[in-house]
Chains A and B, each alone.
Chain A
Amino acid sequence: MRIVDRRVDPPGRGTVNRERFIRRFKGEIKRAADEEFSKRSITDVGRGGRVTIPGRGLAEPHLTHDNQTGNRDFVVPGNREFLPGDQLPRPESGGDGDGEGNEAGEGEGRDTFAFVLSREEFLALFFDDLELPNLERTRFGEVTMERTRRAGYTRDGPPGSLLPAMTMRMSIARRIALRGSIDEHVEALEQEREKAGADRRAQIDEEIARLRLRRESLPLLEDVDRRFRSRIATPAPAARAVMLCLMDVSGSMDERKKDLAKRFFVLLYLFLERKYGGVDVVFIRHTEQAEEVDEERFFNDPQTGGTLVLPALQLADHVIETRFAGPDWNVYVAQASDGDCTSEDGRQSTAYVQQVLLPKVRYFAYVDIPSSSGWFNRPSDLWQSYDVIEDPGFARRSVRGRGDIWPVFRELFSRKATV
């Protein structure tokens, strides 16, 4: 008899088979995940979750008898009242009185199949065919490169990276420390010996002799002395990129619009986080003045005021100039607004985007969230102002409801032939 502890084994086959399942029904699962997305609250957008796909094609058929044909005898338990010759009504679908057991009874309906996807799987499906446009220099791989670098010492490691000098130093230190404590002990015993009686004295002598022997025979090397070079893996981004998220939070952005804008940015953020781990993200929100905030406040902190677009653009430029300037950086800007602005501000902003920002950035995406009760879907002020911009690095879409967000996001970031 043997007991083997397998709990520490890496997870294995389950994942392989899961992947295969998802790969096979990718189309269906994706459709279901997209639907699921528009139903979610903003905090749940990035979570994994329950997905239901149609059961067609999932069945693994086997030959079975048709219970509507032929004669069949079967034994069942639990007779309470029947005598031979009695009759009992036959269930409609020829169902479960036949003792064959119901093999499909594992959370699986006839027509649909429901299961739970992990966050990773969910996002992988979501962002499968999207990427940042016009990314120059070495393109991002799915994973950023990993480089190892030295990081001090560890107590454990492969023999090859053992540091003998360091190890010996630790050994000396250990022996000095242990000898010291033994010496102290011996000293205390010697003092006690002065005052002790004869038989106690013999005992103490023996003890001292034992300690001296131990002092002499301290091992040269112990496991705790060993020191190894420590190397840790650090992600090294293959190309550097930054995304500036500009959101209008002025008074005209009501809850509905803010929700839409935030959804868009949550999606963008998740996308960048997942596909381009090394991408910097800068969050800028603006009323009549602009400020840079952290992720937490960007998504959760309510604030209202008037609207001026230009300061936000200027702040964006300032951030680019101070932190992300130079040819090393791929700069992206995503702006979301309801497009309410004065004509003066609109004109200035347009000029600013055209002349200052666009030359510096790879891609400028504008998401317009017009009022639902507007003038017969009249384009917003900012949208109209932006009409004059014609640049391959500029794109704009308008979002009217939750359902639009995902398609718009997809259009803005779908995989294109890179320039």
Chain B
Amino acid sequence: MTDAPEEPAERQRPWPKLLARPSVPMPRSGMPRRSEPIARGSEWTIGTLEKFDSALSQHAQRLGLDTYPTQYELITADQMLDLCSTVGMPVHYAHWGFGKQLLAQERGYRKGLSGLAYEIVINTDPSLAYLMETNTLALQVLVMAHAGYGHNAFFKSNYLFRQFTQPDAILDYLKFARGFVMECEERYGWPEVEKVLDSCHALSSYGVDRYRRPSRLSPRRERERLRERLRFAEQHYRPEFAHLEKPAPRTEENAAAFEPQENLLYFIEKQAPKLAAWQRELVRIVRKVAQYFYPQRLTKVANEGAATFWHYTLLHELYDAGEVDDGFMMEWLSNHSDVVAQPAFDSRAFHGINPYSLGFAIFRDIRRICEQPTDEDRQWFPQLAGTPWNESIFFAMANFKDDSLIEQYLSPKVMRDMRLFLLHDGEDDRRHYNVEAIHNESGYLKLRQALAAQYRLEYHTPTIVVARPSDETERALLLQHRVEHGRLLETETTDAVLKFVKELWKFDVVLEEIDSEGNRLKIHRT
């Protein structure tokens, strides 16, 4: 095909534009230095790390970055493996699933298949960041900037984290949970406890209040509530009348007034007919933990992007001030470029879009647009062009989650740099993907909207609601899947998950798949 000028606008080839030079200038090596490097070489001591942290914190303050205080913890590789297996939390209740994670990761690590996570940071106050002892100096400082400043600032400013998590309470709550699970195991036997936890884990994506701010976590209050619940049950239990106790008759209006509920675990905790008090408590624990992680599920790109942007920025500040030498820069930049590498869709290394890569590109482009806007940027982002870049970055960190961040800030330049294109997998042709849009004038908007949609929760996690609590005669639980774009549930895993639901509900569970017009497309039963 030739590049004939009469091609329709939609099919114009945009490739030549990709050869543009990088727009953010590299620091020049001859720049005047204010000071000597804080340390050279790759060895580190706690003292040098402290010096680097104070240097980082000066730069962060100058740029206006607002963070929780950070506590760094030095750990060994084995401890890092432990942490990774329990989703990064230093305290967690015991479960075989975590053991499985640990064994798998350990094997990968020992065989050299996979490296270890460079950084884990926990949204607590003070924020906890882990430094692994085998890292070199440059890597430690990279991790400190990434976790201790980037993630930390994101946790502190982002509206979802402010609304949904209580960073000061989570560790205490997990300690309570660990103790409670252990107690249950002693009292009721581990197979029973595992049965409940397994079932809850299968539903953990549905243990979340999506729109309502959860109540404060407090282990003390939890314990009191628990004691009260058990005391009440004991005092009011009369064996001679137990068989007479009937649930209040459910009238027609009652059933009609029932509003669909999205928080399955909450519903089960409160309404499941045959769960014992301690089992309800376990459901509650899984639900609370899921709630804590909910904002993290929604902000992978934004969170990692901001953290990566800030380590990149802060370490360059260090370099500009002369506080680190060239060797230091070369070392962390090499790690940095591994982290933000984005393999192409047809590469064997491709596992979807790398959130570090996409997020970093977006945040870095915000800074570029603020500092050096082109005509295209002025047209696309009039609100950004020429404003102070740090203000704009802070705004983007504070007020968006993944989908809205992309919808608001994904610039044509980033789409071009990543060479994004939109594929359509339709019912009419299962043997091909159709290319719907590419990175050209007519495709930018479509791409941006599609990518944003891809990061909505519903795209990955099917929307399930409790449609009707229990049928009068059968006590069955009726769940509904709100089908979008005709995408049904995968039969095998759905059956497995429904078995788990039944384990909790104890009576039949039915899952209907309903499209937007209310047509029933498919039914799964236990």
Chain B residues near A2 (CB, 8 Å)? 69-72, 126
Q: Are A13 and B198 in contact (CB under 8 A)?
A: no
Q: Enumerate A6-48 residues with CB–CB distance to B below 8 Å.
A: 6-7, 9, 11-14, 16-25
Interface stretch of the complex, out of B247-255, B373-381, B418-426: B418-426
Confirm or deny: A181 has a beta carbon within 8 angstroms of a beta carbon on chain B. no
Tell me the bound Cα distance from A14 to B352 in angstroms: 30
A23, A75, A87 pick with most chain B CB within 10 angstroms: A75
Does A113 sit at the interface, judged by CB under 8 A? yes
- A75: B residues at CB distance < 8 A: 353, 420-423, 447, 450-451, 454
Chain B residues with CB below 8 A from A20, complex form: 94-96, 98-99, 190, 194
A323 close to chain B: CB less than 8 A: no
Interface residues on chain B, size class: 35 or more
Number of interface residues of A (CB under 8 A): 70
Majority SS at the chain B contact face: mixed
Taking the complex as formed, is B11 at the interface, i.e. its CB lies under 8 A from any CB of chain A?
yes
A18's partner among B72, B102, B430, B439 (CB-CB below 8 A) is: B102
Q: Is B106 in contact with A116, judged by CB distance below 8 angstroms?
A: yes
- Does any Cβ of A come within 8 Å of B85's Cβ? yes
Interface hit among B73-81, B220-228, B237-245, B313-321: B73-81
Chain A positions 96 through 113: 1 when the CB is less than 8 Å from some CB of chain B, otherwise 0: 111111100111100001
B11's partner among A3, A4, A61, A85 (CB-CB below 8 A) is A85
Assess whether B494 is interfacial by the CB under 8 Å rule.
yes
Interface residues of B in 400-446 (CB under 8 A from A): 418-427, 429-439, 442-443
- In angstroms, Cα B483 to Cα A3, docked, is 50
**B341 CB to nearest chain A CB (Å):** 11
* Stretch of B24-32, B274-282, B364-372, B456-464 on the interface side: B456-464
A73 near B436: Cβ-Cβ < 8 Å: yes
Interface: B107 (CB within 8 A): yes
Residues B435 and A85 in contact, CB atoms below 8 Å apart? yes
CB of A88 within 8 Å of the partner chain: yes
A21 to B194 CA separation, bound complex (whole angstroms): 11
Q: Are A7 and B352 in contact (CB under 8 A)?
A: no
List 19 extra interface pairs beyond A20-B94, A21-B102, A70-B485, CB under 8 A. Answer: A1-B69, A2-B69, A3-B71, A4-B73, A13-B86, A61-B496, A62-B202, A62-B497, A63-B205, A72-B425, A73-B424, A75-B423, A79-B438, A80-B419, A84-B438, A88-B433, A107-B108, A115-B103, A116-B106
Q: Which residues of B contact A (CB under 8 A)?
A: 10-11, 13, 46, 49-50, 53-54, 57, 69-76, 78-79, 81-82, 85-86, 91-92, 94-108, 110-111, 113-114, 126, 131, 133, 148, 190, 194, 198, 201-202, 204-205, 342-347, 350-353, 418-427, 429-439, 442-443, 447, 450-451, 453-454, 460-462, 464, 481, 483-491, 493-494, 496-497, 500
9 pairs, A vs B, C-beta closer than 8 Å: A14-B82, A19-B99, A69-B488, A71-B426, A75-B447, A77-B344, A78-B343, A85-B434, A90-B432
